[in-house]
Structures are given as C-alpha cells and as structure tokens.
Amino acid sequence: MAPRRYDPGRRDRIIDAAIRVVGRGGIAGLSHRTVAAEADVPLGSTTYHFASLDELLVAALRRTGENFAAAVRTSGALTDPGADLAAELARLTGEWLGGERTGVELEYELYLAALRRPALRPVAAEWADGVAAALAGRTDPATARALVALIDGICLQVLLTDTVYDEAYAAEMLGRLLA
C-alpha cells in the first residue's frame, strides 16, 4: 500500500475548484466529478472532504460571501462618527460591483441558491448578519438590517437589469435610511 500523501491545501483547492465550476456553468454543472477534475484531485478526495454537494456549496458560499463583508468591517467609516456612512457604503458597493462581474454574479448565484437548498440558508444569513453587525456600531440593529437589504436590492437590480451602478443614487437612498 502506498503511503498517504500529505496535502494540507487540498480542501481549499476543492472549494476554489467548485467556485470556478459554478462560475462557468452554474450550480447545475456542479458535481463531485466536475470539481475533482477541476481541482486535479482524485474523486474520492471531494467526497472525503465534502460528503454532499450541499456541504461543498456551503463552503463555497462562505468563501465568496466574505469579500463585501470584509470591506465593510475594515472601513474607517464604521469607527469615525463624523464619516458619511451612506457615502462610504455606496462607494464600497460600487467597488464591489465594479470588480470582476463574474465573481459578483457567482456570489449572488450561490447566495440565491439558498432559496432551493435549505442547507445554504444559514450561510446566506451569516453574510447579512455579519454586515448588519458591522454596521450596528454606527446605527441601531433594525436600521443596519435595512441598509443591508437596500444594498442587496440595489446589487440585484444592477445585476439583473445589466445597468450601470449609480453611486449617487445609492448614497442618497442609504442616507435616507440613516436619517
């Protein structure tokens, strides 16, 4: 019997491969086989690390959903009471939407997959809760959740209608919620 190969990065490579597979062909194209081929690992490795596709999707959603939440958490506007929080959130949203379109679409595809896959719902909620928790230092919890919902709605409209993100509009609407 051959000795077992130590490969500490394999799980992460499998998650990254799943993200690429979903990015190319949507969730319908995701299988242990397609991910194993993409990650260049044996099929058994994907099922060893992720017993089900839902487990793999949870890991992928958690990884992709962290980008915007991290930008909000590290924003100086959260700790500076004199900063224009609405303008900063509008700017961060614009930066995120202005990045790689495929990546943003992928994040939302995984996020919205929670509608049909209950296993993903807690992770989708983690994203919203994490951003709301970061914002709660500058506003009350209900307003923080409303800000997250508005940002989500604006992002979905930009993605679904293929329109250009209007930062001034976003800042105005976010400012109304904060007023």
The C-alpha atoms of residue 38 and residue 35 are separated, in whole angstroms, by 5
Specify if 144 maps to a domain.
Answer: yes
Which 8-state DSSP code applies to residue 3? P
pLDDT band at residue 132 using 50, 70 and 90 as cut-offs:
very high
pLDDT band at residue 4 using 50, 70 and 90 as cut-offs:
low
Task: Mark whether 139 and 96 lie in a shared domain.
Answer: yes
Task: Mark whether 70 and 151 lie in a shared domain.
Answer: yes
Q: Are 46 and 32 in contact (CB under 8 A)?
A: yes
* Confidence (pLDDT) at 102: 73
* Confidence (pLDDT) at 171: 97
* Confidence (pLDDT) at 148: 94
> Quick one: tokens of 99?
């990045």
Task: Mark whether 134 and 111 lie in a shared domain.
Answer: yes
* Confidence (pLDDT) at 11: 93
60-106 pLDDT per residue, tens? 888 887 777 788 888 888 888 889 999 999 999 999 888 777 778 88
> Quick one: tokens of 61?
């959603």
Specify if 26 maps to a domain.
Answer: yes
Mean confidence (pLDDT) of the chain: 88
Specify if 129 maps to a domain.
Answer: yes
16-46 pLDDT per residue, tens? 999 999 888 888 889 999 999 999 999 999 9
Give me the percent of the chain exceeding a pLDDT of 70.
Answer: 97
Q: Once rounded to an integer, what is the mean pLDDT over residues 162-179?
A: 95
Task: Mark whether 81 and 26 lie in a shared domain.
Answer: no
Specify if 56 maps to a domain.
Answer: no
Reply yes or no on whether the pLDDT at 2 is more than 60. Answer: no
Domain count, the chain: 2
Q: Which of 1-5, 74-78, 98-102, 127-131 has the lowest mean pLDDT?
A: 1-5
Reply yes or no on whether the pLDDT at 134 is more than 50. Answer: yes
Specify if 123 maps to a domain.
Answer: yes
Which residue matches tokens 């409303």? 146
Q: Once rounded to an integer, what is the mean pLDDT over residues 146-167?
A: 94
Specify if 78 maps to a domain.
Answer: yes
Supply the CATH number for residue 131's domain: 1.10.357.10
Supply the CATH number for residue 15's domain: 1.10.10.60
Q: Are 175 and 148 in contact (CB under 8 A)?
A: no
Task: Mark whether 38 and 96 lie in a shared domain.
Answer: no
Which 8-state DSSP code applies to residue 119? G
Neighbours of 140 (CB within 10 A): 10
Q: For the residues of 35-65, what is the DSSP string, one character each? A: HHHHHTS-HHHHHHH-SSHHHHHHHHHHHHH
* Confidence (pLDDT) at 5: 67
* Confidence (pLDDT) at 104: 82
Domain range for residue 93? 64-178
